[in-house]
A = this chain, B = another copy of it.
Amino acid sequence: MTDPVALRTASRPPRLDAVSKVRGGLRYCGDLPPAGVLHARLVTAPVAHAVLNGVDAGAALDLPGVLAVLTAADLPIAEPDDSRVFQPLANGEILWAGHPVAIVVAETEAAAEDGVEAVSLDYTALEAVLDLEAAARPDSPRARRSKHGRQASLENVHGAIGAPESETIVDEELSDNVVRRYLYRSGDVDAVMAQCDVVLQRRYRAGWVHQVPLEAPVAVASVDADGALTVHTSTQALFITRDMLASVFGLPQTKVRVVATPMGGSFGSKFALAEPLAAGAALALGRPVRLAMTRTEDFLASNPAAAAVMDVRVGASARGDLEALDARLMFDDGAFADLSCEMLAAFCIGGPYRWRAFRVKALGAETNRFGTGAYRAPGAPQAIFALESLIDELAQRTGRDALELRLDNLVGEGDPRIDGIAWSRTGMRQCLERLRDHPLWQRRSELPENEGVGVAAGVWTGARDAAGAVCRLDGDGTVTIVTGIADMTGAESTLAALAAAELDLPLEHVRMVSADTTAAPYAPPSGGSSATYLFGPAVRAAAREVRDQLIELAADELEAAVEDLELAGGEVRVKGAEFRAIGVAALAESVWSFGGSMAPVQAQSRTLAEHAAPLSSANLVHLRVDPDTHEVTVLSCVAVQDVGHALNPALIEAQIEGGAAQGIGRALLEELVHDGSGVLVTDSLMGYALPVAEGTPRIEIQLVEEPSDEGPWGARGVGEAPVLAVPAAVGNAIGAATGLRMTALPMTAARIWRARQDDAR
């Protein structure tokens, strides 16, 4: 019999590296460090909507150090597609003021910047579609004329939201700008609503906000002699970025290597943005290209969180039993509808409440504003602001305690969610009970004038996905854990503790390695509050297998049965005869004596979290509204969150603190403001107001631990929940302080003043 290896070598295939060696393209150690890295800067569009006729690069190319001005046609993109990664540069049509039109590539960043100034664009202005509601009307002009009808999307990447009933909204005529139309419904909303004692309806709005990580998007791309692409990047999604780049440039996945560098913040913004630009330029020029976006480029040209207009109607009994929910959520999908915010918002608009009947329409409309991106619980703070404001108003209207009303209407385990999936166990009841019993809530009536306490609650779905991890015993008795995680929020630190616990080793004997796409096990993106929830079981499983291997090796050495042995305190010992023991370090040394006679101690796990575990969060906000200036001062904020199991309270609290601060920012300060022609006004931190330490109160944090079924030690995700309810709680506190019902985010002093004027009329 001819063996199958021989079949594969019968044609005498050359060495894998033969061609690159023979052609002199292979890079050896002596070729380090890599030379000739070029720097890129973006030419961004000055108008919101236009036909791009041409780019005049002549003057730029005459500048010293400028090597190339690349436009869409210069990037070797395999096949056009309507998602942004496939169109990293404007492709004949300018879609927003800030749309990258060209990349200037130069020897230095300064030269590239000079080059950008020297590029002139030839374009023919088109009518800009700037108003979200108008964009959806049947008579609206199109915000995006040139489309290919094919779209890769990050939609529901975590698989945690059930499919909508239908994508066709039959009772409304809408323009073609409305590219996504979801409908979730149950029962006869109109009939139930008609029977309700109280029906409240309001229109809520939320503006565009930016994630503003400390580190703006950055990627460094290079191409080797075999045409293989390597991209170093600050990313949340190692493998998604690899897969996207492979698709975009028509490369096999094996020819794309993505290396995740330490991340200087992200909050959802880093799912492939600088990468296709740097990679496209590197592929076009055959030189390494670095694109480190400036703060202004990040404001103008990246993927912030979408604005929304949300019409919500709730019906209830006289004593505040929730009966019917009718919601129409319109999200601004901007120039690129890559993320389905509206779907996530649809889940959130139902809240953690029982409804006899509901109808939730979720619409996404293209406009000439940005490309949309993910930002910490995409769509949720907006939707929760709307729902929880209205619930609060309902409590007031029905004379109920706002917390009791919420507690009375909570869903139970097994009840259907908006998306039809059964609710799994949550810790929301405990969260709300903690707030109900909190002195701030109990004594809210004793506050001075112009102060108020608001409450709000929110649930996030959590994520489900597979994961993998490697655990390797090293020669000095320490263990190395290898994953493909993009480390955020200290997730790796928690994973190290999980491994240390399984192996009963000190924390400092565990080293975490986040490998690149060539060597890492399957890794889901870090997002959707998933890192610990998904990677935790993978790390534990790999560590447990290593523990079993150690016990097996020790059984030989100690001449004992495997079942009589335990791993504890850095040694494997005979239960009940602990003087018969062998240290992990001694076993490690034997394993790592090259030429020795022990198999290596190492394991790779493959785990699957089949169900997402919801995250619950509730806030009290205490604030003061200046009666003259209408400026809001947040005096304190209580954050209660169900984390399932607090694996590392310090890291969890840090996330909650940061999330609450971002919530306060979204409530009071942050908004990307455009002028009437659609040009961004807030294009730097001079104009875009972020919460700073000075204006942020101490966040009082309480953790609830209602264990999840699949998380490590019952842990749930953490990262997204802290921001969910804060804007609503702030709004409700403003209501308590002023009697005014705020309906637009951010709730600036100007808007509060206007609300007071409207109220006075």
Q: A497-B5, A595-B156, A597-B608 are in contact. Are A602 and B475 (CB under 8 A)?
A: no
The reply to whether A5 and B713 contact each other, CB–CB distance below 8 Å, is: yes
* Chain copies in the assembled complex: 2
Q: A233-B29, A478-B253, A501-B3 are in contact. Are A606 and B597 (CB under 8 A)?
A: no
Q: What is the distance, in angstroms, from A312's C-beta to the closest C-beta of chain B?
A: 28
Tell me the residues in window 497-548 of chain A with beta carbons closer than 8 Å to chain B beta carbons: 497-498, 500-501, 504, 507, 511-513, 515, 518-522, 524-525
**Chain B residues within 8 Å of A290, by CB:** 32-33
**Chain B residues within 8 Å of A577, by CB:** none
**Chain B residues within 8 Å of A14, by CB:** 493, 650
Q: Interface code A464-491, partner B: CB below 8 Å = 1, 0 otherwise?
A: 1111101010111010101000010010
CA gap between A721 and B494 in the complex, in Å: 51
**Chain B residues within 8 Å of A254, by CB:** 474, 476, 478, 480, 511
Q: Interface code A5-33, partner B: CB below 8 Å = 1, 0 otherwise?
A: 11111001111110001000011111011
At the interface, yes or no: A219 with Cβ under 8 Å from chain B?
yes
Q: A594-B158, A595-B156, A648-B13 are in contact. Are A602 and B264 (CB under 8 A)?
A: no
At the interface, yes or no: A37 with Cβ under 8 Å from chain B?
yes
Q: Interface code A228-241, partner B: CB below 8 Å = 1, 0 otherwise?
A: 00001110000110
The reply to whether A522 and B592 contact each other, CB–CB distance below 8 Å, is: yes
Instruction: State which of B5, B218, B253, B476 has its C-beta within 8 Å of the C-beta of A647.
Output: B5
Q: Interface code A385-411, partner B: CB below 8 Å = 1, 0 otherwise?
A: 000000000000000000000000000
At the interface, yes or no: A641 with Cβ under 8 Å from chain B?
no
The reply to whether A12 and B649 contact each other, CB–CB distance below 8 Å, is: yes
CA gap between A421 and B263 in the complex, in Å: 56
Q: What is the distance, in angstroms, from A482's C-beta to the closest C-beta of chain B?
A: 5
The reply to whether A512 and B218 contact each other, CB–CB distance below 8 Å, is: no
Closest to A467 in B: B600
The reply to whether A507 and B13 contact each other, CB–CB distance below 8 Å, is: yes
At the interface, yes or no: A492 with Cβ under 8 Å from chain B?
yes
At the interface, yes or no: A463 with Cβ under 8 Å from chain B?
yes
Q: A156-B595, A606-B602 are in contact. Are A27 and B497 (CB under 8 A)?
A: no
**Chain B residues within 8 Å of A156, by CB:** 595
The reply to whether A595 and B159 contact each other, CB–CB distance below 8 Å, is: yes
The reply to whether A470 and B519 contact each other, CB–CB distance below 8 Å, is: yes
At the interface, yes or no: A220 with Cβ under 8 Å from chain B?
yes
Instruction: State which of B17, B253, B497, B592 has its C-beta within 8 Å of the C-beta of A262.
Output: B17
Q: What is the distance, in angstroms, from A463's C-beta to the closest C-beta of chain B?
A: 7
At the interface, yes or no: A121 with Cβ under 8 Å from chain B?
no
CA gap between A480 and B290 in the complex, in Å: 28
Q: What is the distance, in angstroms, from A37's C-beta to the closest C-beta of chain B?
A: 5
CA gap between A521 and B604 in the complex, in Å: 10
The reply to whether A28 and B519 contact each other, CB–CB distance below 8 Å, is: no
Instruction: State which of B240, B518, B594 has its C-beta within 8 Å of the C-beta of A513.
Output: B518
The reply to whether A261 and B29 contact each other, CB–CB distance below 8 Å, is: yes
**Chain B residues within 8 Å of A594, by CB:** 157-159, 239-240, 465, 524-525
The reply to whether A234 and B522 contact each other, CB–CB distance below 8 Å, is: no
Q: What is the distance, in angstroms, from A562's C-beta to the closest C-beta of chain B?
A: 17
Q: Interface code A22-51, partner B: CB below 8 Å = 1, 0 otherwise?
A: 000011111011100100000000000000
Q: Interface code A702-719, partner B: CB below 8 Å = 1, 0 otherwise?
A: 000000000011000000
**Chain B residues within 8 Å of A524, by CB:** 594-595
At the interface, yes or no: A596 with Cβ under 8 Å from chain B?
yes
The reply to whether A12 and B650 contact each other, CB–CB distance below 8 Å, is: yes
The reply to whether A480 and B518 contact each other, CB–CB distance below 8 Å, is: yes
Instruction: State which of B12, B26, B482 has its C-beta within 8 Å of the C-beta of A518.
Output: B482
At the interface, yes or no: A603 with Cβ under 8 Å from chain B?
yes
Q: What is the distance, in angstroms, from A571's C-beta to the closest C-beta of chain B?
A: 16
Closest to A12 in B: B650
Instruction: State which of B13, B27, B494 has its C-beta within 8 Å of the C-beta of A493.
Output: B13
The reply to whether A33 and B37 contact each other, CB–CB distance below 8 Å, is: yes
CA gap between A261 and B520 in the complex, in Å: 19
At the interface, yes or no: A243 with Cβ under 8 Å from chain B?
yes
**Chain B residues within 8 Å of A302, by CB:** none
Tell me the residues in window 407-463 of chain A with beta carbons closer than 8 Å to chain B beta carbons: 463
**Chain B residues within 8 Å of A472, by CB:** 521-522
Closest to A159 in B: B595
The reply to whether B610 and A606 contact each other, CB–CB distance below 8 Å, is: no
The reply to whether B9 and A647 contact each other, CB–CB distance below 8 Å, is: yes
The reply to whether B595 and A465 contact each other, CB–CB distance below 8 Å, is: yes
**Chain B residues within 8 Å of A596, by CB:** 159, 465-466
The reply to whether A501 and B610 contact each other, CB–CB distance below 8 Å, is: no
The reply to whether B595 and A650 contact each other, CB–CB distance below 8 Å, is: no
CA gap between A466 and B553 in the complex, in Å: 14
The 4 nearest A-B residue pairs measured at CB: A159-B595, A522-B600, A604-B604, A4-B501
17 cross-chain CB contacts under 8 A: A3-B501, A5-B498, A12-B650, A15-B490, A16-B496, A17-B492, A26-B262, A28-B234, A29-B215, A29-B261, A158-B594, A160-B595, A240-B594, A465-B594, A466-B599, A513-B518, A599-B608
Given contacts A30-B292, A465-B595, A598-B608, 10 further A-B contacts (CB under 8 A): A3-B645, A5-B497, A15-B490, A17-B490, A21-B262, A29-B234, A158-B594, A466-B598, A519-B520, A600-B606
